[in-house]
Every structure is written in structure tokens, then in C-alpha cells.
Amino acid sequence: MASPNDIKKGTVVNRGGDLWFVIDFQRVAPGKGSSFVRTRMKHLTTGKVKEENFKSSENLTFEDVQYKKMQYLYNDGNLYTFMDNQTYEQLSIAKGDIEDAIPYMKEGLEVKVVIHNENALTIELPQKIQYTVTYTEPAVKGDTASGNVLKDAEMDNGLKVRVPVFITQGDDILVNTDSGSYTERITK
Amino acid sequence: MLSTEDLKRRLTMWQDVETKIHAFFQARGFVHVRTPLVVRCPGMEPNLDPLEVSVNGEPHALITSPEYSMKKLVGAGLEKIYTMTPVFRNHETGSQNTPEFSMLEWYAPGTYEDLMNETEDVLKFVLEDETDWSRLSFDEAAVDEFGDPHTDQQRFFVTRYPKDQASLARVSDDGSYAERFEAFGDGMELCNGFCELLDPVEQRARFVQEQEERRQLGKTVFPIDEELLEALGRIKGSLYGNALGLDRLVMLKYAIANIRDIRVVE
């Protein structure tokens, strides 16, 4: 038995035989009322996403899963192939199992593959991923006064992100994979 | 470390929100107060875990909210006060929670309606968005047992909490609901406002009960803040107070989903 307070991203919770993968969580102690853990979970076979809250006092069953660091190699449309850099072992995961991660994929990206009973279930993306800006309009004169004006930009893998006006083509930036939003520029 | 442009960008967001808050409250005659971060008697709520520190060998804790200090200032005769301060709550993590965050808190004489109107005014002013915030009753908002509302609306207040969730809010004159409300924006809980209960006898009973609950949970039991109880007894009339998460307000204004993305130094 485990406590909801031990939930992390990537924890797999067994709810009456159904396996739910924790995509996101918040540990919340409201000013008044009892503390709880708010989760967003994805069903490991149907892919259905739901939000569920657990009181801190509840008992949960966590599934024993392994997280294996692997590098993304390529896809053939439906199957995405990853490689273990230590052993050169390769495995493939169906597109449908990593739907949310697809826009962030780029060659060589290091991810954590979630393995349960020797089956690769899904992947966990890094919190932030670095991309190179391949296209964005130059800042319009006057915009730079406020650093909070955003403009469209396209990354080296085709991902589209709104970026601050001081970003120029060729800059490397970090994108938050929770929200798909700009985080910061990499200082060269 | 962030690039200079990113540092400036993040600081500009904070500065914008903080400057507007100062302007708003000072135009309404509020006094900006300073409150201590290290105290002997932190918030007693059983579910909160204050960060405990030792000062000159004596047990202390970092504040979970400036509430007690501010009520002491009201008891000392300051009528309308506000502050923006760091607060600390251990074991809170996630994309909208960190153990250290910032709180805007204000107190003034007035009614439940006054407080809701003022909160809507400050939100509109800071967000520079005149869209009205609808007011849903606790039932209309379908609030679940975790305090989460279930509605399609983006920006709204949940009002008229049931009496058993009054906490330290006053019960309405007709006795049908607690004078407490919360504001929600883009799925984030922004604030918790009360028409404050000012009865020191009832407050003491509540503290004793909270001490007992903490003892049962195996948590540190903090001493009762006697100065606070004394101060409550000196407050005349009706007092409202609101505690608003400043980080989340910045996130709401600039559409930022992760609280870490508005941090300046990790």
C-alpha cells in the first residue's frame, strides 16, 4: 500500500485492475479543509485521460514499473523506435501510446520509456526540451519596450511555440512540455 | 542561469503586477504593512506544514500566511491594510504549487459583498481585463469534496459556502451560509476571502481543537498566539480579509502554466 503523497510523474496507480499513468500531479493543502493530491492520469491501455483527487489519508496500490533512459531514433508513421545507448537494444512504441509527446519528438531526444512486465507502455518526456528556432519574424520596432509581447515561432522539429520578441532565428530555447510554452533562451 | 532578456522579462511580469497592486490599494487609502516571516506561532491549520526553524535555540516557524500579524495590526488600530509577502508551506509541489510562494493579503472594515466587489475590482485592474467575474453559489459551482468547482466558466467566484465549511468565516445574518468565497481563474484557485469571525472565545476553542488535530496527526503542536486573541477582542464592527496567491495571478495574467516558469532564480 502506498500513500498519495508519494505520487510522482510517471507513477502507475492500480485502480481495481486498471493501470493509470500519472501525467501530472499537485500536492495541495488548502487553507481550510484537508490536504489532497490532485492528479491527471492516463489509462495505460485505452489512453483515456482523467483527473482524480486523492485524500492524503487514502491507501493506493502502485504498480512496479521501470523507467529506461532511451534515445529517439525514427518513426515509420505508426511506430516510434527508441534505442538504449548503453546496450544498443531497440524497441518500438505505437504512435497512439505516445500521442501527447509526438509534437515534441526530435531525433536524438532522450526520454524515459515506461516498462511494465517487459512491455513498453509509453514514454515520459523531459520537463523541458531544447530546440532551435528555425523561423520567426523579426521584432517590430517598439515591441521590445515590453518583454511580454509574444510572437509565433517554428522550431527545428516543426513544433510551433509563442516566444518573446527578443528571440531571433537561430536561437536555442527551452520549451516546457507540460504546456508547450516558451520557458527561456539558452545563453550561448 | 536565465539569459538577461529572460530575467528582465520575468521581472517585468512581477513588477507589473506588484506595481498595479500598490497603486490599487494606495488609491483606496490602504496602508502597506510589513509583517515578520519568522514567528513563534505560525498557522495552526492541521493540514498545513510550516517550515520549522530554530532561532537562538528557540523553536520558530516560517509563516504560512501573514494573517495573524495583520489581524494584530488591525487590533492595534490600523483600519485598511495590505501586504505582499513570501509565505512558506512545506510539502506543496506541482505546476501551481511550490513550498515558497508569494501572497497578497488585505484587511478592511466592511461586508462580504464589499469584499467580493473589491476583489473583482483588483483582479480587473491588475489583469487589465474588464470581463466580469460571475458569482456562482457553492451549489451552482458543483464544488466537490476536495473544494474543486466543476463548471465550464473560466473566471468566477464561488460564494455562499455551507456553514460546515465556514472555517473562520462569519455566518450570514439569516444563518443560511458562511461568508466565505474563493476566486478561480483558468482552473487555478486564486484566493480565499472571508468576512472574519472576530470572537476571541470561539477563536480560542478553534485553536485548541486544531492543536488536538495536529497532535493526533503526529504534527508539531504550536502554541496559541495569545497576542492575536487579544487583538481580535479589540476589533470593532465587521472586518473582511482576503489572501490571494500572487504567483498564480502573474501566471493568469501572462498565461503561464507552470509556476517555475515565473521564477527568477531557482
Compute CA distances B210 → B43, B48, B170, B203, whole Å: 10, 11, 18, 10
Residue of chain A with shortest Cα separation from B5: A166
Indicate the number of domains in chain B.
1
B142 belongs to a structural domain: no
User: For residue A113, is pLDDT > 90?
Assistant: yes
- Kindly state whether residues A33 and A11 are assigned to the same domain: yes
Which residues constitute the domain of residue A29?
A: 4-62
CA angle B37, B110, B71 (to 5 degrees): 25
What parts of chain B have a pLDDT lower than 50? none
| pLDDT for the residue A93 | 94
- Kindly state whether residues A154 and A139 are assigned to the same domain: yes
Residue B246, SS3 per DSSP? helix
Which residues constitute the domain of residue B191?
A: 4-131+168-177+184-262
**Does an H or E element contain B59, and which?**
strand B58-62
> Chain A residues with CB inside 8 Å of B12's CB?
146-148
> Chain A residues with CB inside 8 Å of B46's CB?
34
Query: What are A109's three cell numbers?
Result: 531526444
| pLDDT for the residue B234 | 96
Which CATH number goes with the domain that contains B191? Answer: 3.30.930.10
- Of B1, B96, B261, which has the smallest distance from its Cβ to A26's Cβ? B96
Q: What is the mean pLDDT of residues A39-57?
A: 86
**Residue B185, beta-bridge partner list:** B155, B188
| pLDDT for the residue B93 | 81
The CA distance from A165 to A147, in Å, is 7
The CA distance from B136 to B141, in Å, is 6
B160 belongs to a structural domain: no
Q: pLDDT of A21-37, one tens digit each? A: 998 888 887 655 677 89
Q: What band does A144 get if pLDDT is binned at 50, 70 and 90?
A: low
Residue A6, SS3 per DSSP? helix
Q: pLDDT of A58-106, one tens digit each? A: 899 999 989 999 999 999 989 999 999 999 999 999 998 888 899 999 9
Indicate the number of domains in chain A.
3
- B contact set with A (CB within 8 A): 1-3, 5-6, 8-9, 12-13, 16, 45-49, 65, 89, 91-97, 144, 146-148, 165, 167-168, 189, 192, 243, 254-258, 261
- Kindly state whether residues A74 and A100 are assigned to the same domain: yes
Give me the helices (H) in chain B, please: 4-27, 67-75, 112-127, 200-216, 226-234, 246-253
